[in-house]
Structure 1
Amino acid sequence: MQIGYLSLLFALVLCSCGPAQPEAPSHESSHAEGAAGDHHDDHDEHHGDEHHDEEGGVHLTAAQVENMDIKLGDFSQLKLNDYLSATGVLGLPPNAYIAVNARANGFVHNVPNYVEGDFVRKGAVLGYLENPEFIDHQQRFLEVSAELAYLRQELERQETLLAADAGILKSVQRLRSEVAGKTATLAGISQRLEYLGIRTADITPENLTDRITLFAPRSGYITTISLHDGLYVEPSTELIELIDEDHLHLELEVFERDIARVEKGQRVTYRIPALGTQTFAAEIHVIGKEFNTENKTVRVHAHLQGEQPPFVEGRFAEARIWLDDQTVSALPEAAVLYEGEMAYVYISPADTTGDEVGFERLTVNPGITDNGFTAVRLIDPLPPGMRIVTEGAYYVNAQEQAGALEHKH
């Protein structure tokens, strides 16, 4: 059995080593090759009719150029602002924070329903503070006022007697001393009552009060509030904290490498990403003198100008610090197109004959963009007789992309 298997295997090896006979081409394969050749010729003929060349250019008819409002032009020499990018937050200086404290010990009553975020105007009533000691201060004021009035009358009488050689000098001197002492005492009581908010001119025995009014010392927004009815407070107790957004400013962090280009008075535009794309204006006011070693920046303060965003302390901002104007070669922003990291414009012959207009790409190095124009530097010179597509470059690019897609298919 094993010998028979080996004999069969040896015979197959001998057959495979024999000369191969050439196979005659069949009628079907010849027909297929002919059809392929015809198809190739048709493709070449069709490719000859395309409006897109192998070098990436694009060709449009004169009618297409007119319908797409494609216009040719040249560089404009414009003054464009260069700028530095910076980030920061909306902030307030220390004196924009107002702490409202009680001016004496007492119990709080009749507090309005204020909550954090409410705006209060200067002089608004925040509540009332009650303490029986306020009555004692007013009573003491009335008593000293009466004593002083009597002493002044007695002094006047004694001075009259002394002038007529009927009085005693020592009595006059004593009365003068007592009048001076009572005058000082009354002045002190008056100042204390005025400090508490009680007008001394209105004090009579019939209208003594045990409460004083808590007023807002300045206008602002409430950031914290711990004021409620029945609360016992002392002068050290902070009842409300207000912030005055009139002093709102922009606190920017400028990198060390850029700080030498920042000057007081430079224009700043900024936006709050949380609020969308709206931009606001500011002006550099103070350049910090302390270097942040952690993030390699210097803090710059800018005062807001014109319309301001709704204030939320610490809200993130993106800013541009505009530098001096400089004259540069510029094109409309829409004329510069981008593909990955590469920027380019389209160029076309200034004079065209026939019904077809050709467009080519020209790589450029874009710079700053301001007021709808972009500073542009050419990497290669503009070929003679060529002009730049200043309007409608988007449509030329769309036609080029469509042609490239057709070519792939």
Structure 2
Amino acid sequence: MNTRYNYLIFLLTAILIASCGSEKTENTDTEITTNEVITISKSQFESSGMELGKPVKMNFTESIRANGNVVAAPSGMAQISSLLAGKIKRIAVNVGDQVSKGQILCTIESTEFIRLQQDFAEATGMLKASRAEFERQKLLAGDNIASQKIFLNAESDYKSLLAKVEGQKAILLLLGQNIEKVSQGAIQSDLNLFAPIAGYVANLQAETGAFAEPQKIIMELVDLNQLQLKLSVFEREMTGLKPGLKINFYSPNNTDEIFIGQVVAFSRAIDPETKAITVIGSIQQSEKAKLISGMYLEAEIFTGEREVMALPDEAILKSGETRLVIVRTSNDANEMKFITKEVQTGSNSNGFTEILNPEGLDNVLIKGGFNLVME
């Protein structure tokens, strides 16, 4: 066991600290050995503002660390593409524009669209004649005037044409067309694409004059009112996770602005590659306007509280992987003796560190310990 009488060094250190005004010394790593004895005078202890204390009971908030993105709910996202091929005649919006549901987003010139309308109008007219012939042959067959074969052929022709018309009608309805007008021969050359949801144009991947291929994305819409959190939580940290828990989240680029959310749901399967589960969280409505879809964030999910014994962070000294405190062992008339003692630490909260072995720590130097061991 080494004994160090560092009066002179301690006095010089105290003078340097006093000259630095309000600057705070951080308990960074330094080489300290366990059971190291330090002796100082009482006047040194008092003049340097040192304080003694002991571990106190505190309620530490338990939390889970997570990261992820701000995303729109499935019903709050829309990818806009054309069902038919054609040339983009006009784009009516730009990135960042707010759009309402049903608003025209772009117009496509499509010969395929023209042919579809023509075929539907012609087939609709033919269907009336086919239905009439089918009904006539049905009556004749019932009176044994016409052969059953002729009736069956008429029935087959009618049903085949009916299926064709209904199929064309379904496509035209998907394209937002007025079936009654098309059936009467009102043919349009321009195919308008409409906004299926209200929101903002998040992405635009085409320009006027470009060829629009079926199913190729032209633009994307996002409803900011339906933004939510999509977080990843590792398997080892998911204990206590449940719907309703509070979430604090922030952008790593601006850690001072904290947003508040709540756990809504989480997946019941662990990703075999990341060893994590997906957690979906809600966002307060008033804060959604400050966020962007796709924004990366870090989060803390609060799972509850537990009672611990803790010391101020300043009382904990770091020496590599070892954590130590300075404990007073004697208090004579003119001098005070201290010894360094290794401690096992747990979590941290609001400037305090959990002590897992608090026994025998009744007189811990909770202020000024770092400067005392520096040489």
TM-score by length of 2: 0.61
Q: 2:291 aligns with which of 281, 288, 310?
A: 310
Query: Partner residue of 1:231?
Result: 210
CA distance in 1, matches of 2:164, 2:63: 65
Aligned pairs (5 A) from 1:101-140 = 101-115=81-95, 117-140=96-119
> How has the CA–CA distance of structure 1 residues 118 and 370 changed in structure 2, closer, same or farther, with 3 Å as cutoff?
farther
Query: Partner residue of 1:195?
Result: 174
CA distance in 2, matches of 1:124, 1:91: 26
Query: Partner residue of 2:45?
Result: 56
SS in 2 for 1:203: helix
CA distance in 2, matches of 1:155, 1:113: 50
Query: Partner residue of 2:272?
Result: 290
Q: Which runs of 5+ in 2 are unaligned?
A: 1-40, 329-337
CA distance in 1, matches of 2:149, 2:306: 89
Q: After superposition, what is the alpha-carbon deviation per residue over 1:110-133, rounded to whole angstroms, capped at 9, x for unaligned?
A: 322312x44545433211112244
Q: After superposition, what is the alpha-carbon deviation per residue over 1:150-206, rounded to whole angstroms, capped at 9, x for unaligned?
A: 232233334334444544444333322222222122122222322332232332435
CA distance in 2, matches of 1:136, 1:312: 40
CA distance in 1, matches of 2:240, 2:179: 50
* RMSD of aligned residue pairs (Cα, Å): 4.7
How many pairs are equivalent?
303
SS in 1 for 2:214: coil
CA distance in 1, matches of 2:339, 2:196: 66
Could you tell me how far 1:108 is from its partner in structure 2? 1.9
Q: Which runs of 5+ in 1 are unaligned?
A: 1-51, 61-72, 293-297, 348-360, 405-409
Q: After superposition, what is the alpha-carbon deviation per residue over 1:80-126, rounded to whole angstroms, capped at 9, x for unaligned?
A: 2334555x3426599686432211122223322312x4454543321
> How has the CA–CA distance of structure 1 residues 162 and 109 changed in structure 2, closer, same or farther, with 3 Å as cutoff?
same
Q: Does 1:209 align with 2:188?
A: yes
Which letter does structure 2 place at the counterpart of 1:232?
F
> How has the CA–CA distance of structure 1 residues 239 and 289 changed in structure 2, closer, same or farther, with 3 Å as cutoff?
closer
> How has the CA–CA distance of structure 1 residues 305 and 274 changed in structure 2, closer, same or farther, with 3 Å as cutoff?
same
Answer whether contact 2:229 2:282 (CA < 8 A) is retained. Answer: no
Answer whether contact 2:70 2:291 (CA < 8 A) is retained. Answer: no
Query: Partner residue of 2:14?
Result: none
Q: After superposition, what is the alpha-carbon deviation per residue over 1:9-65, rounded to whole angstroms, capped at 9, x for unaligned?
A: xxxxxxxxxxxxxxxxxxxxxxxxxxxxxxxxxxxxxxxxxxx942412599xxxxx
Q: Does 1:262 align with 2:238?
A: yes
Which letter does structure 2 place at the counterpart of 1:289?
D
CA distance in 1, matches of 2:283, 2:340: 40
CA distance in 2, matches of 1:363, 1:83: 31
Which letter does structure 1 place at the counterpart of 2:186?
N
Which letter does structure 2 place at the counterpart of 1:302?
V
> How has the CA–CA distance of structure 1 residues 277 and 302 changed in structure 2, closer, same or farther, with 3 Å as cutoff?
farther
The structure with more radius of gyration:
1
Query: Partner residue of 1:181?
Result: 160
Could you tell me how far 1:336 is from its partner in structure 2? 6.3
Which gives a bigger RCO, structure 1 or 2 (Cα 8 Å, sep 6+)?
Answer: 2
Which letter does structure 2 place at the counterpart of 1:54?
S
Answer whether contact 1:81 1:368 (CA < 8 A) is retained. Answer: no
Report percent identity of matched pairs. Answer: 19
> How has the CA–CA distance of structure 1 residues 110 and 75 changed in structure 2, closer, same or farther, with 3 Å as cutoff?
same
Could you tell me how far 1:214 is from its partner in structure 2? 0.6
Answer whether contact 2:228 2:283 (CA < 8 A) is retained. Answer: no
CA distance in 2, matches of 1:249, 1:127: 31
Q: Does 1:141 align with 2:120?
A: yes
Which letter does structure 2 place at the counterpart of 1:57?
E
CA distance in 1, matches of 2:142, 2:196: 53
Could you tell me how far 1:372 is from its partner in structure 2? 8.5
Query: Partner residue of 2:62?
Result: 82
